[in-house]
Structure 1
Amino acid sequence: MNWSAINFDWNQVRSFLATAEEGSFSAAARVLNQTQPTVGRQVAALEEALGVTVFERVGKSLRLTTAGTELLVHVREMADVANKISLTATGQSQSVEGQVRITASDVMSTYQLPAMLKQIRLAAPRLEIDVVAANDLRDLHRREADIAIRHIRPTQPDLIARLVAQASAHLYAASSYLDQVGRPRSEEELAQLDFVSFGDVERFIGFLNPAGIPVTRKNFRIGSHSGVVSWELVRQGFGVSVMSDDVAALTPGIERILPDRDPFAFPIWLATHSELHTARRIRLVFDQLAEQFKARETS
């Protein structure tokens, strides 16, 4: 079917997209701040307009049909375009200016944050953005940064924190290194390889051992407190380390080790001071970062 030839009601499209992503009318209604019957009616109206069924019921949940899966691809493209238009219009109408300092780990600052900042620059071209690449926790109270991207939830009562994504990581090594030492088939074989440490070695071992990887200090003959340096050492064939799947996907010549292992899961939190969040430029950056992390998680 030629989807582009049909005129959509955007409210129907939003209801369909939310239902597809959330898995039910009730969950979509909560996201859209509407009632469940309203969402159901909008999806039904979209089906009638298209002449196809986009969902089928499986027990108490909904599952996309083939037509619904095809439609979802186009609807997400529409949503991306609408979001970019909204960002640009918001930036022009509010004339957001001034500096916003964002702190994140050196790995995220290098590999993931720049692509997100491109969208923010479209929304607010006069904004000045300072990226503070640091693996320690910078103090938001002392204005060492306006927005922090962290993997642990901030506990200070006067900070606004939002869980924006659940990321995953696996063990990786360079293909050139694995060609030399062989590709391990078990955790015991894996523990015979060299590892590249990131930060404190004992702390890294304390992270790996409970996950069933019996490494000791003898496995660690090289490393760095810089995540970027450690990852480059992995890429150059010095050994194995843990890395975010998103970053690994951007790195040629890298292989996932023991691919059937459950991933390491870690949260991504955005935090800012409650007073700073009322500043228009900081609120815009905070909200757009949150949306982009969410979009990457669901894409």
Structure 2
Amino acid sequence: MSPKPTVPDAGPCRLDWDDLRHFLAIARHGTLSGAARALGVRQSTMSRRLAALEARAGAQLLQKTPDGYRPSAAGEAILGPVERIEAEADTVARTITGTDLRLAGSVRITSVETLATLVLMPVLAGFARRYPDIELELLADSRDLDLSRREADVALRLAPYTQPGVVARRLARVGFGVYASADYLDRHGRPDFAAGAPGQYTVLPSDELRQAPEMQWFAARTHAARPGLRCNRRQAALAAIEAGMGIGCLARYLGDGRGLVRLDAGPPPPARALWYGVHEDIRHTARIRALAAALAEGFAAAAARLDPPD
């Protein structure tokens, strides 16, 4: 009788960190598309990575529900350890980056879209000419990306940073004004802000931006007006005001010089500080320091445009 064939021991399950990173993104965002945007990859890549991870693990880690992907029992069990692995991997990456003395490599910058397009881009263009070996990546996004997780290296935001480990400094002041098109004013007349702008229409931001100081100021002066449009992009709000859909509050760098009428609504809206943020582990990296100096110089030169004295 011939002996039975020996089945080799499969050994411990060996998981790839990149697959685990994709699992974590899906668990956090609940959708393949949201996770793909967060990691900057294709949706098909997210699906393939998840399938590969579950095949290696021999277990279903995420369940697809009507509300999106949710961790299974096995997924819940590994969620905490995977988050700790992520934190350690991010620490290693920041430590390596922080000791890099070369004026080369990549820098990922995040900023709101209009600021990036109208003010930041000329600064980056000059920086790129001076440092051709530094590769810039710009994430024009209103989300508060996590610098500790290396979602971005440098961030420009109109609110103070609360993330642990982030070093921040004020880069500039941004002024605001109330605008309308000449055509809109011909049809509706000048707003009576003392009475709350009755008979007027307003262009308002989506819910996540309504708590901004300038929008609360604007809401107090237009409480009797009717919303003409709500939108989640400043560029779309500008287009709506230009199209005569209503009056709106815009940053001066966005509203000035476009043929719009800047309205006198009494004391001007409160200016806001523009903050530069970078994680403390990489702040002394040569390319980060070079970019910080270029941003300080560029935004100082743009000060009168960002917060005009009139």
Calculate the TM-score normalised by the size of structure 1. 0.61
Using the alignment, how far apart are the partners of 2:207 and 2:198 within structure 1? 18
Seen in structure 2, the aligned counterparts of structure 1 residues 210 and 288 have a Cα distance that, compared at 3 Å, is same
Which sections of structure 2, spanning at least 5 residues, go unmatched? 1-100, 306-310
Work out which of the residue numbers 286, 301, 307 in structure 2 matches 1:295. Answer: 301
Using the alignment, how far apart are the partners of 2:174 and 2:141 within structure 1? 19
The residue type equivalent to 1:151 in the other structure is L
Q: Conserved in 2, the CA contact under 8 Å of 1:101 and 1:146? A: yes
The residue type equivalent to 1:261 in the other structure is P
> Helix, strand or coil: the match of 2:283?
helix
1:223 matched to 2:246? The reply is no
Using the alignment, how far apart are the partners of 2:102 and 2:208 within structure 1? 47
Map 1:1-299 → 2, pairs under 5 A: 96-188=103-195, 190-200=197-207, 203=210, 207-208=215-216, 212-215=220-223, 219-250=226-257, 252-258=258-264, 261-297=267-303
Larger radius of gyration, structure 1 or 2? 2
> Helix, strand or coil: the match of 1:278?
coil
Aligned length: 204
Q: Conserved in 2, the CA contact under 8 Å of 1:101 and 1:131? A: yes
Using the alignment, how far apart are the partners of 1:288 and 1:111 within structure 2? 16
Using the alignment, how far apart are the partners of 1:205 and 1:188 within structure 2? 22
The residue type equivalent to 1:155 in the other structure is T
The residue type equivalent to 1:247 in the other structure is L
Using the alignment, how far apart are the partners of 1:176 and 1:294 within structure 2? 35
Using the alignment, how far apart are the partners of 2:212 and 2:103 within structure 1? 46
Q: Conserved in 1, the CA contact under 8 Å of 2:188 and 2:199? A: no
The residue type equivalent to 2:253 in the other structure is D
The structural deviation recorded for 1:143 is: 0.9
Matched-pair identity in %: 26
Seen in structure 2, the aligned counterparts of structure 1 residues 298 and 205 have a Cα distance that, compared at 3 Å, is closer
The structural deviation recorded for 1:260 is: 5.2
Seen in structure 2, the aligned counterparts of structure 1 residues 177 and 204 have a Cα distance that, compared at 3 Å, is farther
> Considering only aligned residues, what root-mean-square deviation do their CA atoms show, in Å?
2.7
Q: CA deviation digits over 1:182-207, x for unaligned, max 9?
A: 12253326343111111218936984
Seen in structure 2, the aligned counterparts of structure 1 residues 214 and 182 have a Cα distance that, compared at 3 Å, is closer
Seen in structure 2, the aligned counterparts of structure 1 residues 190 and 137 have a Cα distance that, compared at 3 Å, is same
The structural deviation recorded for 1:244 is: 0.9
The structure that is helix-richer by fraction is: 1
Using the alignment, how far apart are the partners of 1:98 and 1:244 within structure 2? 33
The residue type equivalent to 2:300 in the other structure is K
The structural deviation recorded for 1:291 is: 2.2
> Helix, strand or coil: the match of 1:277?
coil
Seen in structure 2, the aligned counterparts of structure 1 residues 185 and 165 have a Cα distance that, compared at 3 Å, is same
Q: Conserved in 2, the CA contact under 8 Å of 1:116 and 1:289? A: yes
Using the alignment, how far apart are the partners of 1:162 and 1:204 within structure 2? 22
